[in-house]
Structure 1
Amino acid sequence: MTAAPAINAPALSGVQSLTFAKALTLAMADAMEADPSVVVFGVDVGKLGGVFRVTDGLTSRFGEERCFDTPLAESGIVGMATGMAMNGMRPVVEMQFDAFAFPAFEQITSHVAKTGNRTRGQVRLPLVIRIPYAGGIGGVEHHCDSSEAHYAHTPGLVVLTPSSVADAYTLLREAIESPDPVVFMEPKKLYFTKATVDLDALRSRHSSPADRGGANGVPSSIGRATVLREGTDATLIAYGPSVAPALAAAETAAAEGRSLQVIDVRSLVPFDDDTVNAAVRSTGRVVVVAEAPGFASMASEIAARIQEHCFHSLAAPVLRVSGFDVPYPPPRLEKYYLPGVDRILDAVDRLQWEES
């Protein structure tokens, strides 16, 4: 495939104040600039720039051969991406909303996740499936599902979910550079949050396709959790849309004289047991915070892993604060469903402090 020439290259560089959505846009644009095999497609991602405008400007810059609209047929989108990845392309597809990806679930679980194993590694699928997910935007069911456990449960998929502007850029660039299929979960309520980042420093890790896997000696962020806040009394473990309320809870707890550590998992698969276990052992008390329903969830898996690896370091049972085991509620009830500061701190209070 002959790539259309890039035009109107962005002037953004150095230290910039960016939205989460803009960081994702720049990650795709920079990847497309560096590698002509990267293509972006999905429903309304072209001229419209996507429902959340995350692909805004990519078609005008790279042409309709590199960023284009597709019919409303998610199974066809992922099926086409699979074939393109088999033949040397690096497709990045958007599912528009979390539950809209379910019509493509058979393609994802039966083909995307299994082709590498089925061919003994002879056929790799370097594709990214971008899924805007979770709530906090006043949406309804089918528009605010937290579907990460479905993908994390499926061997053969890498599953990532950033919670910061810097990670939005870095993790998406690394996802595009990965030789394996990545389900990239984007918390919708974070799209228009802002932070100041050094774009030159972020880009320095990805100077050319030859640098894949950790450019300039910088290790990959895939498979690595990060410590966002140090603390000594208990550890809050969160990811994606639940990181902000975990940090807010830690800030409130500090004002009350309690020191809470906050871990951002960010890479659901592969999972960083080392960082999580070290954090748990340092405090002995843990609350896992996640927006998805709690039953058979990612929060359940994290709690189980902690119990298996850190049992003798625990001073109290591992607790979870999650969404309730019901379909996503209507907008007026959303605030009661989502894990917030009060529910997190209530769980912290139940960590058997009286027995310590």
Structure 2
Amino acid sequence: MGQRVGELVTELLDWDVKIETARHEQEQLLQDIFLVEGSLAGAQSSLGESRERLDDSLETLGAWVNFLYRKGPDSYLGVILNASSFGEFVERTGLILMVITAQSEVLDEVQCRASLLEDRLKTLQQAKALLREKNTRLIARIQDMDNYRAGREKFLNNLNLQSARLTRIIIEQETLMYRSLSSLQYLLQHLDSLPWSSLAPGTFTLAGNGIRLEFEDRAVNRILFGQGNRDLAGLSVQSKPGLFSITGTATEKNVDFKIEGSLEPGEEGWVYFRPGGMYLSGVPVSSEVLGFITKEGVPGIDFSGFLLGYCLSEIRPEEGKLVVFLTR
């Protein structure tokens, strides 16, 4: 279940990244829409100015035509034919042609600009429509992702509740199991009552200003657990570098157990066993149960019988043996 919870947490984090990315995309999209709307407003304003200029040009040209050809004192032919000379005729014709040509050029320029602005306006309107359509789809996608993530989060919360409930049940069962292991209970409660004083070191050597004693696991098991005590039947100790463990089988439950930890020297020759891990049928128990064991008291062993005027400076588990260092 813990693995499933971890997978869901990872999935939710992935959805957070996806949603945040989509929101950034939406922000950029809204910025693009804002810029297009600004350009669209500018194009509309320019188009309005061009149309106004076109209207003014048409009005001016019409006024000239009306003035010269309709409302003038002479008709078109009169203006030309009443010339006093051929030179005046050419001059009058040129002036009329110049006015009409200039106004026509202005009209062409304004009409071309208006046509370009209309095309740009149409392009901007299409771009705005596409951006708004894309934004609408993006809003729907973000909403779908939010809804899906909310569903997964709800599932995770339910799973966490189930996990917490299951953890409590497991701890309760482990605690009951631990309390039912009478042989382990008896050992931890009577660790100091075992015949430690009957142990004899397998090796006795001088080390500087101190003494080094070695107790083999086989000798320890024979002296401590091989004396016919039914409460201690099936128990054994095992030493490894830095780790001291006690194993056994609770016959009433037919459960193999193992408790391991460190040995720490205390005052006046006392050595304390501090459990660091416990296994029932090969499965490690929870830290809560281990805390419950240590809460009942740290088991101690009185090694003062071995001191002989020395001080216990160190006790160290090594492969297959316990090594005790005594110093003056």
TM-score by length of 1: 0.17
The structure having more radius of gyration, on CA atoms, is: 2
The structure in which a higher percent of residues are helix is 2
TM-score by length of 2: 0.18
